[in-house]
């Protein structure tokens, strides 16, 4: 390169740490040694030559570094570097660099890189620190046996012991003794039908004076409590506690893929959310619950600081809210006495979807087994008012729209709830459609599941394939659009002359929630959590795989940015809001946000084409 070609490269590098620590001669030598590569998004990945490691300097474009398991390690934009771990360690590169946006990259040969490390302490220190940070990112979740956001796959026995249901308990006992385990899964035609544990053998065989020829299916626990492979460790712990069991089969589409036991979990370390939930369950009055609930904001900040996935943070926080609600119900029943009939406490909106974050208000209702008499009405009015008041004092403010169980309008019998939903579905007026965005994301957090299933099954049977309702619901969901204007510039919300920023919740996450909800209701899918809805829609080929994965990635990224922005607001003593000011984030993040909002826009277009064809 001649001097005129070197000049723009020199200007670029001399403003970049650690190249700004090099003197003029060294910088000139660096620029002369560089080669330039152009990487197109169409190529998918940067081809890293294991025999020719180099330092890669991003001049333009956007890239992602992922490990061999596909876990995200770093996102790179202008002025960032990759390739240095191999140069420092001498090991062959195992990470992959995905191309998100076409870009130019400078290549620095290894001998020049090593020379600068020897000549400049600042240069050497910079890349050693960068390498240490990369290693921390790579080992963040591997360093602990159990963390808040660990999945049970990290702990479970992946080759579960199993036996045919017609085998004898003697054979099962020998199998368990040989494998040194305390349970065996019982299989019939490759499907899980039960579990036989030490406790079953003790209580159902030995205590009953039965011999070892007894068939396993007569001693096993039928339809055992099970858990999905993608569940979190703390969810397994909660399930074991709730059902008083010590073994959880891990089941994927009816097939047992593993077992997680209380012993597996005890080998790990305590989970902060579970400790908090345990504290909640030990409190015996409202003042104590209020005191414990003050730990919830700190829990949120710790989860964000640990760079947990937004989906997982939502599930953790919602589980804490669920536990707090259940404890308030139990404590108030101790005062009011036993309920006059079976009931379910319903959670709607973000608590229903299990995606709560900061600034959550209440959205709840009460489902009664049958029509209450005056005495029962008085009981449930007192109970619901006490629980809603307790939630408010614990930091979950009253719903501005009064969608709460303490409002008699949302405290009804099963038949009345069915009539209300039937009216919303079959007479889809604007107010009904507005309610749909809240009430159709419902979940029972207290009470018999069978009572809740009676309501949910009826609702889904009325929405499935209901073209008029679905078209109206789609139209209502399209009244808001992602904040992109001409040339993909961000459209900022304003309050008078004050710029509030990008509304990440209502112009991002909520729109994806709407898309997933309409599709799920159209197909009669029971899932309420948005990420789970998208997965179910993909598995049923209602949304093609590429679009579903894009939508799921956009949902996670926007939610993650919302949480990160709220952490920034918290640490800078700013009001906690859903608004992001674009200048507070890097150009790479802005680019990724634009891509995410483009996915939301495309999702809305696709939804309109599918659901409003007859309109």
Most confident of 230-234, 242-246, 439-443, 565-569: 439-443
61 within some domain:
yes
- Report residue 94 CA to chain centroid gap: 27
146 within some domain:
no
**Listed residues 224, 251, 266: the one ending a domain:** 266
If asked whether residues 288 and 426 sit together in one domain, one would say: yes
**Listed residues 442, 463, 484: the one ending a domain:** 463
Of 53-62, 252-261, 264-273, 469-478, the poorest mean pLDDT is in: 264-273
Q: DSSP string covering 184-247, please? A: EEEEETTEEEEEEEHHHIIIIIITTT--TTSBGGGTSEES---B-TT-BHHHHHHHHHHHT-SE
603 within some domain:
yes
DSSP E strands in 79-147: the ranges are: 81-82, 96-101, 103-108
If asked whether residues 127 and 19 sit together in one domain, one would say: yes
Q: What is the pLDDT of residues 95-113, one digit of tens each?
A: 899 999 899 999 999 999 9
Phi, psi of 428 (to 5 degrees): -75, 75
Split at pLDDT 50, 70, 90, the class of 330 is very high
Task: Specify the pLDDT at position 140.
Answer: 40
CATH of the domain at 553: 1.20.120.330
What percent of the chain clears pLDDT 70, i.e. is strictly above it?
92
Most confident of 31-45, 80-94, 119-133, 259-273: 31-45
If asked whether residues 241 and 305 sit together in one domain, one would say: no
Q: Residue 591: CA atoms inside 13 Å, Cβ hemisphere, count?
A: 15
470 within some domain:
no
If asked whether residues 125 and 168 sit together in one domain, one would say: no
Task: Specify the pLDDT at position 160.
Answer: 84
Split at pLDDT 50, 70, 90, the class of 154 is low
Q: DSSP string covering 419-481, please? A: HHHHHHHHS--HHHHHHHHHHTS-EEEES-HHHHHHHHHHHHHHHTT-HHHHHHHHHHHTTS-
Task: Specify the pLDDT at position 496.
Answer: 67
If asked whether residues 489 and 527 sit together in one domain, one would say: yes
Task: Specify the pLDDT at position 98.
Answer: 93
If asked whether residues 281 and 412 sit together in one domain, one would say: yes
If asked whether residues 238 and 375 sit together in one domain, one would say: no
CATH of the domain at 254: 3.10.580.10
How many domains does the chain divide into? 4
If asked whether residues 424 and 410 sit together in one domain, one would say: yes
Task: Identify the sign of the CA torsion 402, 408, 414, 419.
Answer: negative
Tell how many helices (H) and how many strands (E) occur in the chain. Answer: 23, 20
Give CA separation, 307 vs 148, 234, 471, 502, 560, in Å. Answer: 11, 17, 38, 22, 9
468 within some domain:
no
If asked whether residues 450 and 504 sit together in one domain, one would say: no
Q: Helix, strand, or coil here: 396?
A: coil
144 within some domain:
no
469 within some domain:
no
Q: What is the pLDDT of residues 164-219, one digit of tens each?
A: 999 999 999 999 988 888 899 999 988 899 999 988 998 899 888 998 999 999 99
Split at pLDDT 50, 70, 90, the class of 268 is very low
Residue 570 in this model has a pLDDT that exceeds 70: yes
Residue 73 in this model has a pLDDT that exceeds 90: no
If asked whether residues 81 and 207 sit together in one domain, one would say: no
Is the distance from CB of 283 to CB of 327 less than 8 angstroms?
yes
If asked whether residues 173 and 130 sit together in one domain, one would say: no
**Listed residues 229, 248, 266: the one ending a domain:** 266
For 555, other C-beta atoms within 10 Å of its C-beta total: 27
- Rounded to the nearest integer, the mean pLDDT of the chain is 87
Q: DSSP string covering 533-581, please? A: HHHHHHHTTSS-HHHHHHHHHHHHHHHHHHHHHHHHHHHTT----SEE-
Q: What is the pLDDT of residues 439-486, one digit of tens each?
A: 999 999 999 999 999 999 999 999 998 998 999 999 989 999 999 887
CATH of the domain at 424: 3.30.460.10
- Residue 592 lies in domain: 475-611
Split at pLDDT 50, 70, 90, the class of 515 is very high
pTM listed for this prediction = 0.63
Distance separating alpha carbons of residues 231 and 308, to the nearest angstrom: 14
Mean pLDDT over residues 508-530, rounded?
95
Q: DSSP string covering 250-311, please? A: EEETTEEEEEEEHHHHHTS---HHHHHHHHHHH--SHHHHHHHHTTHHHHHHHHHHTT--HH
If asked whether residues 488 and 539 sit together in one domain, one would say: yes
130 within some domain:
yes
């Amino acid at each position: 390169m001649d001097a005129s070609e070197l000049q723009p490269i020199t200007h670029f590098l001399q403003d970049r740490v650690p190249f700004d620590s090099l003197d003029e001669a060294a910088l000139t030598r660096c620029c002369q040694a560089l080669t330039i590569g152009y990487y197109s998004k169409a190529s998918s990945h940067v081809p890293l030559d294991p025999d020719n490691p180099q330092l890669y300097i991003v001049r333009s474009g956007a890239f992602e570094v992922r490990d061999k398991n596909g876990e995200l390690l770093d996102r790179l934009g202008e002025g960032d570097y990759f390739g240095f771990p191999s140069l420092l360690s001498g090991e062959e590169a195992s990470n992959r660099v995905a191309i998100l946006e076409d870009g130019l990259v400078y290549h620095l040969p290894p001998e020049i890189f090593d020379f600068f490390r020897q000549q400049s302490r600042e240069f050497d220190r910079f890349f050693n620190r960068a390498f240490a940070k990369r290693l921390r990112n790579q080992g963040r979740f591997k360093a602990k046996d159990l963390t808040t956001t660990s999945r049970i796959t990290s702990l479970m026995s992946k080759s579960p012991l199993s036996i045919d249901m017609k085998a004898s308990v003697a054979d099962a006992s020998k199998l368990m003794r040989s494998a040194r385990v305390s349970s065996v899964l019982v299989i019939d035609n490759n499907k899980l039908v039960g579990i036989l544990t030490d406790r079953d053998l003790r209580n159902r065989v030995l205590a009953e004076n039965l011999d070892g020829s007894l068939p396993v299916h007569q001693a096993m626990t039928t339809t055992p409590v099970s858990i999905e492979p993608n569940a979190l460790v703390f969810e397994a712990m909660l399930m074991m506690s709730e059902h008083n069991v010590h073994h959880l089969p891990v089941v994927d589409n009816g097939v047992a893929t593993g077992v997680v036991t209380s012993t597996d979990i005890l080998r790990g370390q305590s989970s902060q959310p579970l400790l908090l939930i345990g504290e909640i369950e030990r409190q015996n009055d409202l003042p104590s619950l209020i005191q414990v609930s003050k730990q919830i904001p700190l829990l949120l900040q710790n989860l964000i600081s640990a760079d947990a996935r937004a989906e997982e943070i939502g599930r953790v926080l919602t589980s804490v809210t669920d536990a707090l609600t259940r404890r308030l119900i139990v404590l108030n029943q101790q005062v009011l006495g036993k309920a006059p009939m079976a009931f379910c406490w319903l959670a709607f909106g973000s608590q229903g979807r299990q995606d709560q974050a900061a600034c959550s208000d209440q959205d709840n209702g009460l489902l009664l087994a049958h029509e209450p008499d005056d005495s029962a009405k008085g009981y449930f009015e007192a109970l619901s008012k006490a629980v809603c008041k307790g939630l408010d004092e614990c930091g979950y403010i009253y719903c501005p729209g009064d969608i709460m169980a303490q409002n008699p309008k949302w405290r009804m019998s099963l038949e009345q709830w069915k009539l209300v939903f039937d009216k919303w579905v079959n007479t889809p007026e604007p107010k009904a459609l507005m309610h749909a965005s809240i009430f159709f994301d419902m979940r029972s957090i207290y009470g018999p599941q069978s009572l809740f299933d009676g309501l949910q099954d009826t609702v889904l049977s009325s929405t499935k394939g209901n073209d008029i309702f679905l078209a109206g619901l789609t139209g209502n969901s399209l009244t808001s659009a992602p904040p992109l204007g001409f040339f993909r510039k961000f459209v900022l919300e304003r309050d008078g002359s004050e710029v509030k920023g990008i509304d990440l919740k209502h112009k991002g996450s909520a729109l994806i929630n709407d898309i997933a909800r309409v599709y799920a209701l159209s197909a009669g899918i029971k899932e309420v959590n948005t990420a789970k809805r998208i997965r179910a829609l993909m598995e049923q080929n209602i949304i093609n795989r590429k679009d579903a994965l894009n939508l799921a990635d956009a949902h996670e990224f926007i939610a993650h940015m919302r949480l990160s922005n709220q952490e920034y607001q918290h640490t800078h003593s700013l009001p906690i809001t859903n608004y992001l000011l674009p200048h507070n984030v890097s150009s790479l993040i802005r680019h990724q946000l634009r891509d995410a909002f483009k996915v939301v826009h495309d999702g809305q277009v696709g939804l309109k084409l599918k659901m409003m064809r007859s309109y």
